[in-house]
Chains A and B, each alone.
With several copies, the nearest count.
Chain A
Amino acid sequence: MTPLLEAESLGRTFGARRAVDELTFSLDPGECLALFGPNGAGKTTALRLLAGLIKPTTGTARIGATRLPDLAARSRVGLISHRSLLYDALTARENVHFSARLHGLTDATAATTRALEALRVGDRADVPVRALSRGLQQRVAIARAIVHQPDVILADEPYTGLDESGSAALTGLLQERRAAGAALIVVTHHLQEGLALATHAAILRSGRFARYERAAGLDLLRYAAEYRELVA
């Protein structure tokens, strides 16, 4: 069976800086990779490459059989960026609905409501995003990213700004997608947060995997200690 998400010596340089350096890995349906690494390690760049937002300087990324940034591939990806990707003059509902339409959902309105409810911002859905607090905006941003129920979810520090209930909602949502056979990559600086969901864990350092393993057997404290010295 072909993996759902596949990167082959995927790399990107900015000027002289190798932000991402020939990454090779793949995820099957239902797998979730927790991606850790120090600031500037290349995590965001890696996700942007896998979302087809920027062109790789080396290698390729595939969703199922199709290569990025092909249309068919893009349609299956959902990116939770660390920018909201929202139009702040429009309301939460309008933003999510627009995204739903762009993805060709036939029941865009229903899907929009569902997504907003899932993140518990239904009651604030009709004010301009501009007027929402940061955490509420983050919820809308997530709703926008997953309204089309993508097979591949790329989440860049998705818990940023979320309170307890928001985090719970997000975790629930990611687990649900995973159970439905989606492949996830979650970037975060909180090992615990990341490992809670993960089937695999990886540590990125200056663009390369310093570690990549199954999350099953991992002991949080040991892993944390090793991470610390690995990065130092």
Chain B
Amino acid sequence: MTHPGLIAASWLIARKDLAIEFRTRSAFLSALILSLLAIVIFYFAWDPTAIGAADLAPGVLWVTFTFSGLLAMHRSFGVERQDGAIEALLTAPIPREAIFLGKAFANLLFVLGVQAIALPAVAIFYNLPVGHALAPLAVVMVLAAIGLVSVGTLLGGLTANTRLGELLLPVLALPFFVPVVMPAAQVTAHLLAGRPIAEAFAWIRILLAFDLVFVYLCTLVFPLTLDD
């Protein structure tokens, strides 16, 4: 009987989370429908004669991702709180970082799944030619998703912790979203506007940097949000 290592434990937790999600397959389906709906509804929030679809798409895309992402993170800790299940994780002989990584990973899959559907949807409904920029877009989305999820999972942990949830911490976490989502939105705008990818490289490099920093930082900070 040896304790599972960081990776093994994280994987266990991720699998458990996904199991709960898919206990009713519809959990993921509804996340997809949700993002589709958001995209469609937003079309009507603007005056199409005044604004070209291509100008809106990036904002719409990223608001949608952020929202469905936050939903996932919120959910992933709601599950733990229910009957104090989180305490079972805390008493288990696993590094607390594993809890973060496990949940972050589950959330990442969730968000990526949503993106995989949302992007084509935007392309069709806002009839945008994304084909030419697909590869760079995909890269940006994955990078941004990683950042979004790492910060969001941390935030989820904060708000799920009743003690901290009542403090202003959630608000304090807001600024950390901006540097993740903002470049993503800008690059997307660049690409959809058909501008050369070269321009975007700078942004992508920034995104990469943010990911590295935030994944590391959040993993580090997360345990602090748990122990009481």
A binds B: yes
- A residues near B (Cβ < 8 Å) are 51-55, 69, 71-72, 74-75, 77, 79, 81, 83-90, 94, 98-99, 101-106, 128, 130, 144, 148
* Interface residues as binary, B79-91 with A (CB distance below 8 Å gives 1, 0 otherwise): 1001111011111
One of A52, A54, A90, A103 near B19 (C-beta < 8 A): A90
Inter-subunit contact B82/A88 (CB<8 Å): yes
Q: Please determine whether B23 and A83 come into contact, CB atoms closer than 8 angstroms.
A: no
Q: List 17 A-B contacts (CB under 8 A).
A: A52-B90, A54-B227, A55-B227, A74-B91, A75-B3, A77-B91, A85-B84, A87-B20, A89-B163, A90-B16, A101-B12, A102-B89, A102-B92, A103-B93, A104-B2, A104-B93, A106-B1
Q: Which residues of B contact A99 (CB under 8 A)?
A: 88, 92
With contact pairs A71-B95, A103-B92, A104-B4 given, residues A81 and B84 touching in the complex (Cβ less than 8 Å): yes
Assuming A69-B227, A87-B79, A148-B1, is B93 touching A98 (CB within 8 A)? no
B53 at the interface (CB under 8 A from A): no
CB A115 to nearest CB in B, in angstroms, measures 14
Q: Which residue of A lies closest to B90 (CB)?
A: A53
Q: Which residues of B contact A84 (CB under 8 A)?
A: 83-84
DSSP majority for the A interface? loop
Q: Complex: how many Å from CA A102 to CA B8?
A: 9
B72 → A minimal CB distance (Å) = 16
Q: Which residue of A lies closest to B163 (CB)?
A: A89
Contact with A along B171-186 (1 / 0, CB 8 A): 0000000000000000
- Verify A74–B93 contact, CB threshold 8 A: yes
Which size bracket describes the interface of B in this complex?
20 to 34
Chain A residues, CB < 8 A from B95: 71
Report B95 CB to chain A, min CB distance, Å. Answer: 7
Beyond the given A53-B91, A77-B91, A88-B83, please list 17 additional residue pairs across the A-B interface where CB-CB is below 8 A.
A53-B87, A54-B227, A54-B228, A55-B227, A69-B227, A79-B91, A86-B85, A87-B82, A90-B20, A98-B12, A99-B92, A102-B9, A104-B1, A104-B3, A104-B93, A105-B1, A148-B1
B3 pairs with A71, CB closer than 8 A: yes
- Is B24 at the interface (CB under 8 A from chain A)? yes
Chain B min CB distance to A127 (Å): 12
A40 to B9, CA, bound (A): 34
Q: Chain A contacts of B163 at CB under 8 A?
A: 89
A72 to B95, CA, bound (A): 11
In Å, the complex CA distance between A103 and B79 comes to 20
* Residues in A whose Cβ lies below 8 Å from that of B84: 81, 83-85
With a CB–CB cut-off of 8 A, which chain B residues contact A104?
Answer: 1-4, 93
Given A54-B228, A101-B12, does the pair A72, B93 have CB atoms closer than 8 Å?
yes
Interface contact B87-A85, CB-CB below 8 Å: yes
Residues of B within 8 A of A130 (CB): 162
